[in-house]
């Protein structure tokens, strides 16, 4: 079964670690038309000093 939101992306990375970010960046540079999603779990830090 396909999830409607995830079907809007060409590539989905589960986890935003170093490897996923590097590979996503290289894929995006190779083909800018790709729709890439990086999912990262963890605590929300948007309005905290740790957020950069």
Q: Which of 13-22, 26-35, 40-49 has the lowest mean pLDDT?
A: 40-49
The full length of the chain comes to: 52
**pTM of the prediction?**
0.68
Residue 39: pLDDT over 60: yes
Instruction: Give 48 or 17, the one with higher predicted confidence.
Output: 17
The proportion of the chain whose per-residue pLDDT surpasses 70, expressed as a percent, equals 85
Largest CA distance in the chain: 39
Residue 2: pLDDT over 80: no
Torsion sign across C-alpha atoms 14, 18, 22, 23: negative
Q: Which two tokens stand for residue 20?
A: 């996923």
Where in the chain are the domains?
6-39
Per the CB < 8 A criterion, the answer to whether 11 and 34 are in contact is yes
């Amino acid at each position: 079964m396909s999830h409607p939101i995830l079907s809007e992306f060409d590539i989905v990375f589960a986890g935003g670690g170093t490897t996923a970010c590097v590979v996503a960046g290289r894929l995006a540079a190779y083909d800018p038309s790709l729709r890439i999603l990086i999912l990262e779990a963890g605590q929300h830090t948007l309005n905290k000093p740790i957020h950069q």
